[in-house]
Amino acid sequence: MAFLINCPNCGHRNPYEFTFGGECKQAPGQDADMKAWCEYLFFYENMPVFQDEWWYHAMGCGEWLKIRRNIATHEIVEV
């Protein structure tokens, strides 16, 4: 992975310091059926466009960051 993540606390850091936490998704409501929960837990869009993702700075400040990243180019436009 040839990109850096600009952590608001630690500055630009190697992505290997982070743990990928998946796409940001809206959780189904409490009344949702099993199919909705299954899709929420196990399926991702994974489209080659910008998407919002969770990244955990495990080797640094220990914060969860919400990052807007193009998964095709690794360009990050928002942290």
* Binding region for another protein (CB under 8 A): 8-11, 13-14, 16-17, 58-63
CB closer to another protein out of 41 and 58: 58
Tokens in use for 2? Answer: 């040839």
Asked whether 66 and 60 are in contact (CB, 8 A), the reply is no
CB closer to another protein out of 16 and 42: 16
The span from the CA of 69 to the CA of 48, in Å, is 10
- Shortest Å distance, C-beta 6 to another protein: 13
Length of the chain: 79
- Shortest Å distance, C-beta 14 to another protein: 6
- Shortest Å distance, C-beta 63 to another protein: 6
Pairing of strands 50-56, 11-13: unpaired
